[in-house]
Amino acid sequence: MIAFLNGKFLPEAEAVVPVSDRGFLLGDGLFETFRVAGGRLFRFAQHMERLAQGAAFLRTKLPFTPAELQPMAAQLIEKNQMPESLLRLTLTRGSGARGYSIQGADRPTLAMTLHPLPPAPAGWKLVTASCRIPAGDKLAAFKSTSKLANVLARAEAEEQGADEALLLNTNGEVAETASGNLFWIDQGKICTVSLDGGLLPGIARAVVLEICQDLGLPTGQSFIKPEQLRQVEGMFVTQSALGIIPVTALDGVPVASSPLVGRLAKAYDKMLRR
């Protein structure tokens, strides 16, 4: 496998960063996961806009412009012959002095790697995680490399035989899942969590809201308690890697199946291919 690191294409085993890199030491960085379809990056501009906003929030900088990165990503896809895959872009602050201060850490690290597509699941069983994420956390708007809460939540879910974890915020409201955004269907309306709930504004989430508008389906963004999810007509998770994943169970209780989920999944796949 060929990787991209700081402007160079290298065999993956040679694409290494020093142990002084703050991404390794402190999780001081960001990442984006792009779906590669037909050799092209799906929603490249939206991913890069979020990355740029996150870099500004972290007070770091992108060493390449989006216009420079796009052809480099295309070269990486071509070199690895992976027209249907996932591309992960990782940006860290780079190396600096020991400690939390960012003074002197002014040479960011940027890497891109390709990964096979995971198999598309028929549905996911969710388990509510015991950990909570901060409501209204400004950092939640970006894909920080500090994802330990998500890692532990997924581990907790897998230990209970589930596929994914449902994360609640510190107000006891539904926020997101460990790896995606949650949608539910209530009286024919496609609903998702308000961005004030401490969740990541996913790119796939935005695509689904666009699709609903195109199809004339009503949408809503609000807060919901986990017990209220028992009454919904259907539920699904969105993420860039897998698109739309139906939810089949929550905490061991079967979730209703709505034909709207399948309709949205078909429209999402059509947009991806287009």
Same domain, 200 and 163: yes
Q: What pLDDT, on the 0 to 100 scale, is given for residue 157? A: 98
Same domain, 235 and 191: yes
Is there a contact between 94 and 62 (Cβ–Cβ < 8 Å)?
Answer: no
Q: Which of 116, 133, 158 is the last residue of a domain?
A: 116
Tallying the residues shown for the chain, one arrives at 274
Q: Give the tens place of pLDDT for each residue, 21-80.
A: 999 999 999 999 999 999 999 999 999 999 999 999 999 999 999 999 999 999 999 999
Same domain, 26 and 110: yes
Same domain, 81 and 40: yes
Same domain, 37 and 103: yes
The reported pTM is 0.94
Q: Which of 62, 88, 116 is the last residue of a domain?
A: 116
Same domain, 67 and 100: yes
How many domains are there within the chain?
2
Same domain, 92 and 171: no
What is the Cα–Cα distance from 27 to 123, expressed in whole angstroms?
Answer: 31
Domain hosting 102: range is 2-116
Same domain, 262 and 149: yes
Give 125's Cβ-side CA count (13 Å radius): 12
Q: Residue 150 is part of a domain; what is its CATH number?
A: 3.20.10.10
Same domain, 156 and 212: yes
Q: What pLDDT, on the 0 to 100 scale, is given for residue 104? A: 92
Q: Residue 15 is part of a domain; what is its CATH number?
A: 3.30.470.10
Q: Give the tens place of pLDDT for each residue, 185-217.
A: 999 999 999 998 889 999 999 999 999 999 999
Q: Give the tens place of pLDDT for each residue, 144-196.
A: 999 999 999 999 999 999 999 999 999 999 999 999 999 999 999 999 999 98
Q: What average pLDDT is seen over the chain?
A: 96
As a whole-number percent, the residues of the chain with pLDDT over 70 amount to 100
Q: Which of 97, 116, 135 is the last residue of a domain?
A: 116
C-alpha torsion sign, points 149, 150, 155, 158: positive
Same domain, 166 and 186: yes
